[in-house]
Structure formats: C-alpha cells, structure tokens
C-alpha cells in the first residue's frame, strides 16, 4: 500500500490531521492499536480553546461541538474554602473556552473520517517505522499473521506518550525533559447536575480538587491522591466525602452525588521530547509532550502541533515549499514550552506537595493573594488559559 502521509495513532491528534489533509487532497492512513470502542471509552480532556475549535470546524467536524459545547467565560479558584472568580472574558480581551469532552471530539472526528471514507485501521499490532532518514520511508504492522507494509512520503507519530514513534528515534538524537509529580488525579464521571455553572479549581490543605462537567447532566470531578492509591480502594462514598471536604462549605452543600459511571487515576507528568522531527518522521501531541492536566493544555497543545504540521504539509504538496516542515520542530516547541510553563505553574500553585516546607506553602498563598490583587497577573493567567495564539 502507498499513501502520502502515514499517521500512527487514532487519538484526536492523528484523526484531526488526517481529516484536514484529506480535505486538501492529501492521501493518509491512520493506524490505531486499539478498537474504536476502546478509544472512545477513555475519559480525558474537557476544556477546548478556540484555536482548537477553529481547526475542528475547518475539518468539517465542528457542528455538534458548536451546538452542544458550552462557552465558559470564567472559572473559580477556591482558596482553602474561599471562592474567587477568574473573569476570562474580561482579562483575556474578550476570549473564552469551550467545555466539550475529548470523547465527543474523537467521536465527531471518527464520524467525519467515515463520511469521507478515510482509511483508519484499528487493532493494528507491532507497528514499526523504517527508513525515515531516507526519501522512501515505510511503516509495517501486523494484522493476525499478516505483515502489512505502508510506503509513504512522511510518517506522523501521533501515538501518545506510550507509543512507538518517539521510541524509534535514536537515543543520541532525542533529548527528553521530564518531571513526575508525587501524586495523581482520581477522576469520577457521574450522571448528575454539575455543582457550579463554571469550573472550580480548589486549593485545600487536604489536597487539590476540581469540579468540572461535560454537560448540564454529566459531571466530572477530580481529587488529588497519592501516587500509590488504587482505584479499587476508593468507593463512590469515600470519593464524594473527600471531595466535599475540599470544597467551600456552600458548594459542598449543593453537591449532587450519584453512582460513578467511570472512575480512574491519572498520574501527573510534565514531559518534552526534542526535536519533534527526525528525518521524515514528525511527532505530534502527547507522543512528544505531556502536561499535568491542571491548566487544561494537553489536547490544546496537540492541536497547535496539528495546525503547524497541517500547514507545513500543505505547503509541501501544493507549493513544493518545505520551509514549514523545516521549521516545524522549532515552532512547535516554542509554544509547547509555554504550555509546559503554565501547566507547571497552575499545578504548583494549587496542589499540596508532600515535600513542601511551611515557607513554600506561604509563598503559594502569597502567589494567590497577588494573583487576585493584580489585573496584570489575572491577565497573564487568562491569556494562557484561553490559549496563546498559534
Ligand atoms: P492520545 O489521545 O494518547 O492518542 C494516541 C493514540 O495512539 C491512542 O488512541 C493510542 O491507542 C494509539 N497508540 C498508542 N500506541 C500505538 C501504537 N504502537 N500503534 C498504533 N497506535 C498506537 N487536555 C486539554 O487540552 N484539556 C483538558 O481539559 C484536559 N484534561 C485532561 C484530563 C485528564 C484526566 C487527562 C489524563 C488528560 C487531559 N488532557 C487535557 C490531555 C489530553 O487528554 C491529551 O493531551 C490528548 O489525549 C492528546 O491527544 P493525542 O491524540 O496526542 O494522544
Ligand atoms: C476535565 O473536565 O476533565 C478537565 C477540565 C479542566 C482541567 C482538566 C480536566 O484543567
């Protein structure tokens, strides 16, 4: 089989890129390790920036997002029980975010690929990348006993943090930067009315908590837990009780609880791999960088990679101009590092770190006091949260 661009990974990055390229007449295949049901079963991001939404529309996949997604012009931060609102609209110069789940984004992209009869291969095993330093790279995968070969011009590694693409770049070429946080987020999805019309990020002496949502009848809540906690150790009752302890009293009183329909623990990690290009292999999204979810930047950072790569590939195919491809890694990383900085800052500000001294705790409290006393500081938070320009 021969395609122009072979995309490894059928998560949001891979699907969005293949859909955008297809609409411009560039031939792609997406190779996904898992079944579609499995990919759609993962509950992840909930907050989209408008740059991402614009790409979804360009990919003719934004209709349901525009109909069902909720525009949020602000969110709350609770400081040990006291609520303060961050007015995103005011401090970002009129911008906002869209609350629409990653599961729905992915479903819309799969539907769009189906409508165009785009090639998406599921349950592929043992994907291997070959000869990316040559002009004729190829990818192989196994389906049952059969080995399939895909010849292509370019390979895009959009296979997430645990994928094969990044690992296929030689160690002496790749530089990795990493920070692993000593806690995770225990998340619960429940068919209940959200406790607040806007998200609430809670800093509390017992640990961080977040009240989020997917719709007016579907809530998503998180609490910070030690890294060695296991989901099985948390009954629904113990989760709700711990969440309530970390919320302001009034909010805890209003919280509607119910059975969890999904419960999982996500470890928190900051990670960047440089460069994002090796020969004819380009990394995009979580394959190249990870942020802790506190700043809601992960999927949005993946979108900026897709944006740069899409335009670079179109310039290559339509104008024989490779400047975008040559600049991809440098351009992508410049924005990626800003998302890293912001996510690290939000995480440090709002979580309880076991190793923190009383001095460092005072500094965090002072940082929050400063934030809410300075329009410039709120402006910086707002412009990063709604997303820096591509
Ligand atoms: P992935 O979604 O990981 O997709 C990669 C795909 O590649 C997967 O389908 C995988 O099965 C496949 N794959 C892996 N290995 C192989 C292989 N060898 N061969 C073929 N296929 C393979 N981001 C935000 O912007 N806003 C938020 O509010 C937000 N909240 C989050 C909350 C949580 C709890 C978590 C965990 C993450 C959150 N994120 C958020 C981050 C966001 O979910 C990720 O950044 C996003 O999923 C990245 O998309 P991706 O397509 O690059 O990677
Ligand atoms: C979510 O709804 O899953 C969510 C929202 C905001 C975040 C992280 C996760 O910062």
Position 184 scores a pLDDT of: 98
Q: Which two tokens stand for residue 365?
A: 């409290």
Is 9's C-beta closer than 6 angstroms to any atom of ligand 2?
Answer: no
Q: How far is the CA of 199 from the centre of ligand 2 (A)?
A: 8
Q: What is the mean pLDDT of residues 305-333?
A: 98
Q: Which two tokens stand for residue 254?
A: 């209003």
C-alpha atoms less than 13 angstroms from C-alpha of 379 in its C-beta half-sphere? 4
Q: What is the mean pLDDT of residues 179-203?
A: 97
Q: Which two tokens stand for residue 115?
A: 């409508």
CA angle 256/45/39 to nearest 5° reads 110
Residue of minimum CA distance from atom 6 in ligand 2: 296
Q: How far is the CA of 6 from the centre of ligand 2 (A)?
A: 31
Structure confidence at residue 80 as a pLDDT band (50, 70, 90): confident
Position 20 scores a pLDDT of: 98
- The closest ligand to the CA of 350 turns out to be 2
Position 214 scores a pLDDT of: 95
Q: What is the mean pLDDT of residues 159-170?
A: 98
Position 379 scores a pLDDT of: 98
Cis ω before 267 (30° cut-off from 0)? no
**Average per-residue pLDDT in the chain?**
97
Looking at ligand 2, which atom is closest to the CA of residue 296? Answer: 10
Residue of minimum CA distance from atom 4 in ligand 2: 46
Which stretch of DSSP H or E encloses residue 110?
helix 102-115
Looking at ligand 2, which atom is closest to the CA of residue 293? Answer: 8
Position 163 scores a pLDDT of: 98
Residue of minimum CA distance from atom 7 in ligand 2: 296
Whole-model pTM above 0.85? yes
Q: What is the mean pLDDT of residues 295-322?
A: 97
- The closest ligand to the CA of 283 turns out to be 1
- The closest ligand to the CA of 102 turns out to be 1
Q: How far is the CA of 318 from the centre of ligand 2 (A)?
A: 38
Residue of minimum CA distance from atom 30 in ligand 1: 45
- The closest ligand to the CA of 346 turns out to be 2
Q: Which two tokens stand for residue 180?
A: 């692993």
Structure confidence at residue 43 as a pLDDT band (50, 70, 90): confident
Structure confidence at residue 274 as a pLDDT band (50, 70, 90): very high
Is 293's C-beta closer than 6 angstroms to any atom of ligand 2?
Answer: yes
Position 166 scores a pLDDT of: 98
Q: What is the mean pLDDT of residues 124-129?
A: 98
Is 207's C-beta closer than 6 angstroms to any atom of ligand 2?
Answer: no
Is 220's C-beta closer than 6 angstroms to any atom of ligand 2?
Answer: yes
Q: How far is the CA of 36 from the centre of ligand 1 (A)?
A: 14
Q: How far apart are CA 269 and CA 182, in angstroms?
A: 9
Looking at ligand 2, which atom is closest to the CA of residue 213? Answer: 2
Cis ω before 174 (30° cut-off from 0)? no
Q: How far is the CA of 361 from the centre of ligand 1 (A)?
A: 32
List all residues whose CB is within 6 A of at least one atom of ligand 1.
8-14, 31-34, 39, 44-47, 102, 124, 127, 158-160, 162-164, 185, 187, 266, 285-286, 293, 296-300, 302
- The closest ligand to the CA of 194 turns out to be 2
Which stretch of DSSP H or E encloses residue 202?
strand 200-203
Q: Report in angstroms the alpha-carbon separations of 155 from 15, 32, 140.
A: 14, 14, 11
Q: How far is the CA of 62 from the centre of ligand 2 (A)?
A: 20
């Amino acid at each position: 089989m021969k395609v122009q661009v072979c995309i490894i990974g059928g998560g949001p990055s891979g699907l969005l890129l293949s859909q955008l390229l297809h609409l411009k007449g560039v031939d792609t295949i997406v190779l996904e390790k898992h079944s579609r049901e499995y990919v759609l079963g993962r509950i992840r991001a909930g907050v989209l920036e408008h740059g991402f939404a614009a790409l979804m529309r360009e990919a003719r996949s934004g209709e349901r997002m525009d109909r069902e997604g909720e525009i949020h012009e602000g969110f709350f931060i609770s400081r040990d029980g006291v609520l303060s609102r961050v007015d995103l609209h005011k401090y970002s110069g009129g911008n906002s975010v869209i609350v629409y789940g990653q599961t729905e984004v992915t479903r819309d992209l799969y539907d769009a690929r189906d409508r165009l009869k785009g090639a998406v291969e599921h349950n592929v095993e043992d994907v291997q990348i070959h000869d990316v330093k040559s002009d004729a790279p190829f990818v192989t995968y196994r389906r049952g006993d059969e080995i399939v070969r895909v010849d292509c011009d370019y390979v895009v590694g959009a296979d997430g943090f645990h994928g094969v693409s990044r690992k296929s770049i030689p160690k002496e070429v790749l530089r990795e930067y990493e920070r692993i946080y000593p806690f995770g987020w225990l998340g619960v999805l429940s068919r209940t009315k959200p406790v607040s019309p806007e998200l609430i990020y809670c800093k509390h002496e017992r640990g961080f908590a977040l009240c989020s949502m997917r719709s007016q009848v579907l809530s998503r809540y998180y609490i910070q837990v030690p890294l060695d906690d296991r989901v099985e150790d948390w009954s629904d009752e113990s989760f709700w009780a711990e969440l309530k302890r970390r919320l302001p009293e009034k909010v805890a009183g209003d919280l509607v609880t119910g059975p969890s329909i999904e419960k999982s623990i996500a470890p928190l990690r900051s990670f960047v791999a440089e460069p994002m290009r090796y020969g004819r292999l380009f990394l995009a999204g979580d394959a190249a960088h990870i942020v802790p979810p506190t700043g809601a930047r992960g999927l949005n950072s993946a979108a900026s990679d897709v944006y740069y790569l899409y335009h670079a590939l179109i310039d290559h195919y339509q104008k024989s101009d490779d400047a975008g491809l040559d600049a991809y890694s440098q351009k992508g990383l410049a924005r990626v590092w800003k998302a890293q900085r912001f996510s690290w800052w939000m995480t440090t500000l709002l979580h309880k770190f076991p190793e923190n001294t009383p001095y460092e705790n005072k500094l965090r409290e002072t940082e929050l006091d400063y934030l809410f006393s300075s329009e410039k500081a709120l402006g910086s938070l707002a412009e990063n949260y709604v997303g820096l320009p591509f």
